[in-house]
Every structure is written in C-alpha cells, then in structure tokens.
Amino acid sequence: MSNNYQSPRVGFLDGLRFLLAFWVFAAHYYTLIGGKVYFALPKILEETFNRPVYAVNGFMVITGFLMTYNYIERRLKEPFNQRSTHIKFWQRRFFRLYPVYILCIIVAFIGFVPMAEMNKANLIFFTGNSVSQWGTVRSTVQPDVADLVSHVFMVHGLIPQYYSSLLGVTWSLSLEAQFYIIFPFLFLAMFSNARKQKGRVIIGVIAFVGIAIVSMRGVNLVCSRIGFPEYNLPAVILFAMPLFMIGIIAAAVKLRQMHLIYLMIAVAVTIPFQSIMTVALVLILLLFLFLDEIRFAIPNWFFSILDTFRTILSSKLASFAADISYSFYLVHSMLIGIVLQMLIALFPYFSRIQIAVIGFFANIAVSVLLSYFLFKFVEKPFIEIGRRVVQRKGQKQIELVNQ
C-alpha cells in the first residue's frame, strides 16, 4: 500500500482496496451479531454482501495487477530475468506484510479462547443461541502448537483443518504468500520470450482455469474421504490462480506489454466459472482501469460520472484509507467481539438493535484508530527497513560489477 499519491490512471485502486476491506469488515460484523438468524437481508444482499469471499476475489485481481505493474515499471533497474530481482521482490513483500501479520497471529493465538467466548456470548445475546448463520458453532478450544506453526510460516492455507482456524481472515494471506512465491517464475515464463508469449498466455489461462475447477473438487473429495474438513474458501493457489492471471494480464495490457486480445481471452475463459458478483467486480475494475482507453466509445456524460468516481477513489483520503486497509483487514475480526461485549456491559438497558447499530460505528472507529497506529508504528518502519535492505543489496551488486 503506497504512501505516494497516485494518478487516477491506477490510483483508484487505493480507494477500491479499502472498500473491499470494509466490505469484509461489514460482512463479518453481520455474521458475528447473528447474520440472517438475527435479521434477514434482501435476497440480493444475501447473495452479494453476505459473501465476503467475493471481496477477496477482487483483492486477488488487484494483487496480480499491482505486482505485475511494479515488476514491469522496474524492469530497467531490476531485470526480471535476474535472480537478485526475485530476491528483492520477496524481501519487499516480506517486510511489507509479515510484521503486522505475525503480531496479529500472536495476539489471536494468545487471546483465542477469551475472544471466542466473547463472540459466542454475542451470538447468544443477539439470537438466543451460539449457532452462526451458517449453522456452525465456532470452536472455543485453544488451537494447538501445530496450528500456530502453520500460521507462523503462512502455510495454513494448504492445511484443511487450519486454513481458517486461528484468525479467519488470514486464509487469504496464506494464499497471497503462495502467489508471491511463484510470481517471479510465472512472470518470467510469460514475459521472457515475446515470440512465444501468445501461446504461453493462452495455454496458461486455460490450464489454470481447468486446474482450479478440478483441483478444488478433487482436494475436497480426498478430504471428505479421509475425514478432513473440506475447503469452502479458495485458500490454495491452484483454486484461485485464474483471478490472479486476469490482474497480471491487465497490468501488461495497461503498460502496453501485451495485446488487449489476451485480456479478453483471459476474461472470457475465466468468468463463466465465477460467481455473478465476482464477474461484476472484475468488469468494474477493468472498466475503471481502461476508462481513458475506451473514452471514445462512451458518451461524455457517462465518462464524466465514471471519472468522478475514479478521482474520488484516487484522492488523498483514499490513499490514507489504502494505507490502513491491510491492518484494518487483519484486526477487525478480533475487535468486534470485544467492542460489543463492552457496549453490552456498559449499556444493559439498550435494545439489541441499539447495541448492533452503535457497535457497528464503534467498531469502525476503533478498527481505524488501531489500524492507523499499526500502520504508523509497525508497517511504515518495517517498510523502510525493507527498502534499506533492498537498496543495500543493490549497492553491493553495483560494487561487485565495478570491481
């Protein structure tokens, strides 16, 4: 999440990232107060808003786009066919994501039982029982050391019984880590040979879509037969690769490193197997991304409306929101139960709906404040450390060349 104010060309991703993180927060808040057991949403919201995995699908496309965009823009200083470039990429991602992540994992592990008990008490307060809107009862048993270790090394997404056990939202961080590991090699395969690029991209997209469909069904079949929990979230990279690919190809097209036809093929092959909401998110993202390129084909009044939204999403306020969105995404689910229990204790005469409404805004305030604190005192310092590590490595390479 960049601190630099970006042009509307891709800067709108700042605002969009926070909106997606806020969607996840709001959906989790709704679930933790009982969801449809407490009050039912209109069907259209039940099928969209109440499925925060769709927001994470949007993150996958954005991640693929940003990683590729930055890789291409740095290609002169950091040639993508050099091993040192791969190492610098991994170092940047490590210092950017891991410090806050591991801090949250430790807190979630230490405080798991009391936080789980508070979430259970909140469900009972709002609905009269501890069964979630999905018909499940979340465990209040302390996770074991193996669970913690899998999260420390960010491999929990690959383990059916651990992928959403300790801190639910981190399944997507394990997925992201898997993507970062393979990204330099995937980029090299796609962009190292312009003559073979067309065939590789088309075959790659088709192969990844096929693998995504077959692998999730196959893995869940095996899990069910050996008594492991099945995956209901795409926590394994093979399940989610087509969406990352759309982002990768979109960045290459945006920077004129690839023809638009490749993006059209990727979208056409991928979207038939995605939810309607995921398709809508992908198309909206691509619309804003290529708005200037298609300006000639849309009415001026419609372009002005879209450009206004894009500019708002690219504003300094949106940039601030993007800065805190990562911590916001990580901490909100730990805070919701605590804040609600405090409100219930402080205002015993308030109705359930009053607690729910006040709790929603109180959680926003607390989550934003804590996220800003984490960004300022954890994320930024470690980002700077990562920058120095990368610069030092680059300086050593220059000295070796000069010698």
pLDDT band at 122 (very low <50, low <70, confident <90, very high): very high
User: Is the confidence at residue 386, as pLDDT, over 50?
Assistant: yes
The residue behind tokens 């960049």 is 2
Amino acid occupying residue 75: R
Residue 3 lies in a domain: no
CB under 8 Å to 286, separation ≥6 — which residues?
A: 250, 263, 267
User: Is the confidence at residue 400, as pLDDT, over 60?
Assistant: no
CA atoms within 13 A on the CB side of 281: 27
User: Is the confidence at residue 77, as pLDDT, over 80?
Assistant: yes
Q: How many domains would you assign to the chain?
A: 1
Residue 356 lies in a domain: yes
Residue 197 lies in a domain: yes
Section 120-147 average pLDDT: 92
**pLDDT for position 396:** 63
Separation of alpha carbons 162 and 279, rounded Å = 29
User: Is the confidence at residue 5, as pLDDT, over 50?
Assistant: no
Residue 5 lies in a domain: no
pLDDT band at 137 (very low <50, low <70, confident <90, very high): confident
Under 8 Å between Cβ of 342 and 359: no
User: Is the confidence at residue 338, as pLDDT, over 60?
Assistant: yes
Residue 1 lies in a domain: no
Structural domain of 371: 11-402
Residue 2 lies in a domain: no
- Phi first, then psi, for residue 62 (nearest 5°) are -65, -45
User: Is the confidence at residue 403, as pLDDT, over 60?
Assistant: no
Residue 318 lies in a domain: yes
Section 40-59 average pLDDT: 95
Residue 380 lies in a domain: yes
- Name the average pLDDT for the chain: 93
Of all helices (H) and strands (E), which one includes residue 74? none
Task: Express each pLDDT in 169-207 by its tens digit.
Answer: 999 999 999 999 999 999 999 998 888 888 899 999 999
Under 8 Å between Cβ of 372 and 380: no
Of all helices (H) and strands (E), which one includes residue 202? helix 194-226
pLDDT band at 7 (very low <50, low <70, confident <90, very high): very low
Section 7-14 average pLDDT: 77
